[in-house]
Structure 1
Amino acid sequence: MALALAACAQAPLRQPPAVPMADSFRDIPAGWADANAKAPPLAADWWTMYQDQELDRLEQQLIANSPDLASALARYKQAQAATGVLRSAQSPTLGASLNGQRDRQSDLRPLRGATSPAEYNSGTLQFDLGYEVDLWGRISQQVSAGEAQERAASADLAAARLSLQIQLADTLLALRGADADIKLLRETEAAYQRQADLITRRHDGGGASGLDLARAQTQVESTRSLLRQRQAQRNVQEHAIAALVGANAASFRLDAADTGNAGFATPAVPVGVPSTLLQRRPDIAAAALRVAAASDQVGVARSALFPSLTLGLSTGLQSSDFGRFAQASNLFWAVGPTLAVNLLDGGRRKAQIAGAEAQLDEAGARYRAAVLTAFQQVEDQLTLLDNYDQAAKFDHQAAEAAGRALDLAKKRYDQGAASYLEVVTAQTAYLQSRRSELDLTTRYRQAGVQLVKAIGGGWSAVQAGPAT
């Protein structure tokens, strides 16, 4: 009967729900290689593949000083401690108490013996040994759920670390893009100022109209405004990096990179088959472990329907004479099992079972959502990389064409064949095309970093060569 009841108390381990899978990712950029699903992932310092010393230094500083990472580690330690508390229920408990007091009985105490003294001493040294027999698996399932939650917390720590590392790399890329844009705007401002000075001299000599001079001055001032706006954005990005690495934004400085993003290598990350994503992403691992923990909690809730059996032993010394306390005649003990069952609870335990089953359903749905989101994120970044790579070629061609148009417009103006408005229009188009080209380069590299996050920071060590 005990075995049958134990079987009823056990909850079947619920597997994570099935998720629609595909044989391969759809938008892998041309020239990229599929990863070998059996190949080990790269080391934890994945950012070293970008061959950027500044990024290496900042990532190491983040690991050492990030307050967000420190709080995630503290949460993992809390989960470890909680599991230790649950494991302690599998072991016997031993307690000790020592009591010494002077007592006086009431003269009218009911059933007081005629020879019972009114005042007396009482000394007791008692040891209590207890052990709950895990008949229905309640304790073991609690421990199993706690261990699953601990492993999930470990996966959460890995996910937090990866997320912060990606955020740092992404922000540094944005800052490098801002550096390149600021350099372009400063060069443009200087060129526009030289052009405005030339128009001013022509205007003073009667060779240029006031309208041409106003347009030239407008170009200079507009570019200065763009430069200040971009500098403000760059400063905000620098402050964000300071917060990520645990530094004070007021004293944190990052020197502007002369080459912008040119020194930031962009490797082609080989992408494996979609099923391997389940093994790479720490958030998916955490969601699956929480399904297992919720399944164990269903068993814990069901075990409350059955009696609990506790083995107890109490022993010690008791005497009214402190001077002869440690004598064999003062020994007392009590031993025996206790079987306890809740006969009537108004449906509380059934409601707890229903609640545990609902939590299991929620954990399963969260797991499925995490997997689908992961696939979406990988496809998103692959799509961006593929299309940005092609768009970069068009942007480069457009910038070259805009440069030729600007040269022609200047020659036509110098020859008196066109108004200065044509020069201004060509200058605006050239600046916009150059800034668009730089922005697209930054976004392409950011998409590569986000792909690292989407695949969990690990992939096959197959070298596909740097992407252009």
Structure 2
Amino acid sequence: MAIASLLAGCTVGPNYHVPDKAMAKSPSANRPFISGQEAAFDQAPLPDHWWRLYNDSRLDGYVQEALAANTDLRAADANLRRASEVVREVEAGRTVQTKLEAAAFGADVGGYTLTVPLDLSYSAVASASIEYPLDLAGGIRRGIEAAKDNREAVEAARDQVRVTIAAAVTRNYADVCSANLTLAATRHVLDIQTQTLSSITRLFKGGRGTAFDVTRARTAADKSAAAIPEIEAARQASLYELGALMGRAPADYPKELESCIVPPKLGQPLPIGDGTALIRRRPDIRASERQLAAATAGIGVQMSKLYPQVALAGSAGLANSLSNFFTGPSFGGYAGPLISWAFPNRKLIHAQIAEAGATADAASAKFDGTVIEALRQTETALDAYAREIQHDEALDQARNDAEKSTEQANKLFRYGRTDVLNVLTAQANLAEAEAALAQSRATLIDRQVNVFLALGGGWEE
């Protein structure tokens, strides 16, 4: 009891704080992004609901529906509720514990060989006990601390699901519109090639061309036509994926989006903030940091086993034959401290403490790794987006040049100043340029979503 008195009010084990040498506190991590200096970016903070930067009410409605009905998010919410109940369960360990017991039984006096009637004796026992753990070494308090930290880690994991869902909805929405834009470009080229095929066929019938010219023209048109089903399949897959993200059956995908030909477009540079804001905002970093806090509290849980476990307890009860059950001698009880101490087996406890310390070290390494990976993903996404803008500008110029070249070749061909091969070559270049530009426009939006996903926005309620 003297040792217990000395321990009163103590909580053994290290008190958690973010390690001073953690990557999250490094100056190199808390700075503007290296790849964020391009004109495409703004150093302003990322807004909570970044998809609203597209000013598209339909996209906003799809994201909100997905955040309300997505099955992965429903599962994450259930995991969070379970983690909350674990906290309540651990907290109950520091409250008063009561126990009620009662039993009645009968026994015969004599044996089975006796011929006399059995003499039955009836007895009963009833008791009530109460126990209050003092938690002098703070083991229960550390357990509660670890449970709360784990709950916050699960909450951050739920938030990461929200981030992923918002990005996936935006990506598939853009994919549908981009696919329709690619279809329009492919059909435009196909129309030009079909008109050329008709002209060459008429010339051939009039004796001014060859069958070879007709075959080459038909091959070019067939190639463009063959690309259409693949684009339509990709568009339909995005529609199905979008419906699934919104918690809908495949038959209920958003059919009103089938005709979208204008992909979402930002009217401003991307607001990206800096490394400090990224570390605060990314849910996976928060989850990793909370796991480190829980692991640190786990050291205290194991260290508390080195000291006596003391509880205040009391019990009162009745035990006697039924006929004398409520007489004075039937009553009994006790009140006082209950002490348990695993003193002889301290090697086991020290091993458990070392195990908890190793777990905390692993959690610390994971925390640093998560911060490094978040910064790497963000820098990579920013650079890829800036480079894709340059790529898109070059492809746009190439498409314009190919379109002008095709017009010139057709004009020269009508006046007999060039042959059909030059016309077909110009049209093939236009087809490639149209397809490349359409793909670049889709990739550009994909790169935007990658930036927003890397920045970790969209989990806020």
Both structures adopt the same fold (TM-score exceeding 0.5): yes
Structure 1 contact 280–458 (Cα < 8 Å) conserved: no
User: Structure 2 CA distance, aligned partners of 1:272 and 1:168?
Assistant: 23
Matched, 1:13 2:22: no
Equivalent in the alignment of 1:35: 44
Q: Measure, in 1, the Cα distance between the counterparts of 2:230 and 2:72.
A: 30
Q: Deviation digits for residues 283-338 of structure 1, max 9, x if unmatched?
A: 1111111111100001111222222112221113333226x655666332122222
CA contact (8 A) 2:11 2:136 kept: no
Aligned length in residues: 445
In the alignment, which residue of structure 1 is the partner of 2:269?
Answer: 268
Paired residue secondary structure (1:102): strand
Change in CA separation of 1:275 and 1:330 when aligned onto 2, cut-off 3 Å:
same
Give per-residue Cα distances to partners, 1:217-261, cap 9 Å, x unaligned: 111211111111111111111221122111111342434565634
Paired residue type of 1:169: T
Distance 1:68 1:269, change over 3 A: same
Q: Give 1:178 deviation, angstroms.
A: 0.9
**Partner in structure 2 of residue 113 of structure 1:** none
CA distance 1:450–1:267, change in 2 (3 Å): farther
Q: State whether residues 11 and 142 of structure 2, in contact with CA within 8 Å, keep that contact through their aligned partners in structure 1.
A: no
Mean Cα displacement is larger for which, 249-258 or 46-55?
Answer: 249-258
Secondary structure at the counterpart of residue 27 of structure 1:
helix
Q: Which residue of 1 aligns with 2:154?
A: 153
**Deviation readout 1:180-221 (Å, 9 max, x if unpaired):** 111212222233222222222222222221111111111121
Tell me what 1:195 maps to.
Answer: 196
Given candidates 96, 99, 102, the residue that maps to 2:103 is 99
Tell me the amino acid that sits aligned with residue 27 of structure 1. S
- 2:412 and 2:347 map into 1 onto residues whose CA distance is 91
Deviations 1:396-421 (A, max 9, x none): 11111111111122223223333322
Residues 128-156 of structure 1, C-alpha deviation per residue, up to 9 Å, x if partnerless? 11122211110000000101111111111
Q: Tell whether the 8 Å contact from 2:124 to 2:321 is kept in structure 1 after alignment.
A: yes
| Unmatched 5+ stretches in structure 1 | 109-116, 460-468
- Determine helix, strand or coil for the equivalent of 2:306: coil
CA pair 318-46 structure 1, distance change in 2 beyond 3 A: farther
1:187–1:131 Cα change, 3 Å:
same
Alignment correspondent of 1:132: 133
Verify: 1:364 aligned to 2:368, yes or no: no
- 2:320 maps to a residue whose letter is S
Find the aligned partners of 2:326 and 2:429 in 1 and give their Cα distance: 101
The answer for the alignment partner of 2:168 in structure 1 is 167
Structure 1 Cα separation of the partners of residues 344 and 371 of structure 2? 43
d(CA) in 1 for partners of 2:271 and 2:47?
11
| Comparing 348-357 and 175-184, the one that deviates more | 348-357
3-state SS, counterpart of residue 121 of structure 1? strand
How far off its partner does 1:105 sit? 6.0
* Alpha-carbon distance, 1:92 to partner: 1.0
Could you tell me how far apart the structure 2 residues matched to 1:187 and 1:386 are?
A: 29
The equivalent residue for 1:250 is 251
**Equivalent in the alignment of 1:50:** 54
Q: Does the 8 Å contact 1:200/1:213 carry over to 2?
A: yes
Asked if 1 retains the 8 angstrom alpha-carbon contact of 2:66 and 2:246, the reply is yes
How far apart in 1 are the matches of 2:77 and 2:264? 33
1:388 aligns with 2:413: no
Query: AA paired with 2:84?
Result: Q
User: What is the CA deviation profile of residues 72-91 of structure 1, one whole-angstrom value per residue up to 9, with x for unaligned ones?
Assistant: 11111111011111100110
1:73 corresponding residue in structure 2? 77
Q: Determine what percentage of the aligned residue pairs are the same residue.
A: 23
Q: Name the SS for the 2:34 alignment partner.
A: coil
Q: Which runs of 5+ in 2 are unaligned?
A: 113-117
Structure 2: distance between partners of 1:42 and 1:103: 78
Q: Which structure 2 residues correspond to residues 39-438 of structure 1 after superposition, within 5 A? A: 42-43=47-48, 45-104=49-108, 119-256=120-257, 260-321=261-322, 325=325, 330-345=330-345, 347-438=347-438
Q: Could you tell me how far apart the structure 1 residues matched to 2:132 and 2:268 are? A: 60
C-alpha distance in 2, partners of 1:269/1:325?
83
Local SS of the residue matching 1:304:
helix
Q: Take 2:232 and 2:95, find their aligned partners in 1: how far apart are those partners? A: 63
Q: Contact 2:243 / 2:250 at 8 angstroms: preserved in 1? A: yes
Correspondence 1:455 to 2:448: no
Distance in 1 between the 2:109 and 2:356 partners?
A: 52
Whole-Å separation in 2 of the counterparts to 1:5 and 1:126: 30
Structure with a larger share of its residues in helix: 2
Q: Distance in 1 between matches of 2:327 and 2:182?
A: 91
CA contact (8 A) 1:179 1:256 kept: no
